[in-house]
Structure 1
Amino acid sequence: MSEYDRIIIGEQYQKIAEINKELNQQVIRDRLTGLFNRSYLETSLKEQFQTVQEKLGNIACMMIDIDYFKQYNDRFGHISGDQCLRTFAGFLEKEVQNRSGSLIRYGGEEFLVFLFGQGAEEAEETV
């Protein structure tokens, strides 16, 4: 194999690795909000729980649901509803960004917040 062939193969391998990384992100990220999604919860995060619990102790979990979201969508339209979800997701990200944890769009207008190393009282103060 020539040096040229090795260079071409190396470049192609790099491109394939980048595409695989992007595809993996598409599988575990919600397209609307950019947050992790349910697939991430069921695969990656599930595997991390035991390690996190051993190192940090507590794991607080909160489910947050936007009340009357269907009525909002019906009244103002789905484009406004999508913007509402993006804005709310951004708000949640800011609230948990300096804490060890994960934020997941569970479905529709439901979000999960996992805070690693925090108890119930600390978690309630977060959001």
Structure 2
Amino acid sequence: MLRFFIITAEIIVLVLILRSPFVQYLFEDIQHSVSDWFISMSTLPEQRALSGLRNDILQQLKPLKPYQQNYVEQITVSTDNVKRFYATYCEKDDINPNFSGTKRAQLCHTIMQSSLMRKPQ
């Protein structure tokens, strides 16, 4: 009988501790950290492909002016930005204030050759 009361008291104390604001904050913090880790792991291949594309562009279009380098950084932030740029300035042949002529043609060719533009099979 004494064992039952001790186990019941331990369970009640455990429930009270787990429901305390500090423990809830700690669990929430752990959940956010693990969630952020999973998100970064799931986007790692995309980020590597974007980084590779950015490096390819910067190598093939040397020398670039600082505003052009910043523009390449903005383009290669996400796959959606790359695809939007390609659709607007490469497929529709819209005027781009940062790249024109052969540099734009090289940029479009580099983007087209990247793994980001390949359709999933």
Higher RCO structure (Cα 8 Å, ≥6 apart): 1
- TM-score, length-normalised on structure 2? 0.36
Larger strand share, 1 or 2:
1
Larger helix share, 1 or 2:
2
